[in-house]
Structure 1
Amino acid sequence: MKAQTLETQKALSPDAALQLLKEGNARFVQNQKADRNLLEQVQDTVGGQYPFAVVLSCIDSRTSSELVFDLGIGDIFSARVAGNVVNDDILGSMEYAVKYAGSKLVVVLGHTKCGAVGAACQDVKDGNITTLLEKIKPAIGRSNPEDADAVAGENVRVMIEEIRNRSEIIANAEASGSIKIVGGMYDISTGKVDFYS
């Protein structure tokens, strides 16, 4: 597989971009990999990058978006922070991806057995971790705090709302149909991602 180009990126619809992630995850779950030369993709992207999506996921070492979606160099922007929470820097990065780099899809990807969500459910307070976990608290109020995986799924929905409410650039792009915003949950026991709006 070749690296994304300006032409291939422009030709993708938001739904087609989502389909690429679904197909990549299916390959991952089946332990198959697309035939790509990563060093060739390194060279192909020297002159520019044209990622078709921006994925906000957790820093959890088991949840690398490039691996989970069987992607290559230059395919996506990958933002990672504990609990896949939204902050100003993440929003600015997503706005750049959408408005200036042409990405067609914004994904918030949570996962099962999330340590940050579990810590928020247990009301952990410690240093800067406290501030981060406060961003997850709205999801606890909408779900059963005894079920951390349900809270993690609700946290994805809360973060999507945050993106829409706090970023006029992204909200306008979604309203115009030039991008799509979706959520997903990665199951760390199976490798499968389930998507939802």
Structure 2
Amino acid sequence: MQTFTKELQDKTSPQAAIDRLKDGNKRFVDKAASERDFLSQVGQTSGGQFPFAALLSCIDSRVPAELVFDQGIGDIFNVRVAGNIVNEDVLGSLEYSCKVAGSKVIVVLGHTKCGAVTAACKHVELGNITHLLSKIQPAVSAAMGGEATPEAIEKVALKNIEMSIDRIRKESPILAEMETNDEIKIVGAIYDVASGVVCFT
């Protein structure tokens, strides 16, 4: 599989970038992952990188983005933080990915059975985790009407993706303008930890 180059990046539209991720996930689920020489890709990318996508995903060990989208070294930026929340550092990373380095799509990737979302739903308070979970609380308030049932928690996870996208658009004029100009797309997706399937929202 060819490593992503500047020429390939320039030719890739935002929708083509999304389709590339969808195709990669299908290969992952079908157990038909592309053959790659990762060490060769290390050499090919040593002089520069031209990823086609930037992902904001959770730190969960079950959701390694490069694997579940069947991508190689140099193909995607991957910002990882518990609960795929948005803060200034995340926004700066995404702005670099798209405005400076040329990525064509931002995907906010949540997942089922998310520990951070579950903790927020149960109002856990513990050290610095408390501050992080406070960024998920708006989704809890918006999507969970009663008890923190498994079904309610999954609704919160979806709402949290939606609200993270809203924050990116509202708090990054750079990325909002790029999306308005059709230079990038900002989309959501959720990974099922039981099946390996990514569903774009």
Q: Same fold (TM over 0.5)?
A: yes
Alignment match, 1:172: 177
- Quote the Cα distance in structure 1 between the aligned partners of 2:182 and 2:190: 24
| 1:87 matches 2:87 | yes
Mapping of residues 1-197 of structure 1, within 5 Å: 1-144=1-144, 145-146=148-149, 147-196=152-201
Deviation per residue, 1:141-171 (Å, 9 max, x gap): 1212431111001100000000000000100
Normalised TM-score (structure 2): 0.96
Q: CA deviation at 1:39?
A: 1.2
The one-letter amino acid of 2:24's match is G
Q: C-alpha distance in 2, partners of 1:184/1:139?
A: 16
Query: Which amino acid letter does the alignment assign opposite residue 13 of structure 1?
Result: S
Deviation string 1:86-128 (CA, Å, 9 cap, x unpaired) is: 1110100000011110000000000000000000000001110
Distance 2:183 2:100 in 1: 13
SS at match of 1:78: strand
**DSSP 3-state at the match of 1:182:** strand
- Off by >2 Å, runs of 4+ in structure 1: none
Offset of residue 35 of structure 1: 2.1
CA distance in 2 between partners of 1:31 and 1:131 (Å): 39
SS at match of 2:143: coil
Paired residues in the alignment total 196
- Unaligned segments of structure 1, at least 5 residues: none
The alignment yields a C-alpha RMSD, in angstroms, of: 0.7
After TM superposition, give the deviation of residue 24 of structure 1 in Å. Answer: 0.4
- Percent identity over the alignment is 55
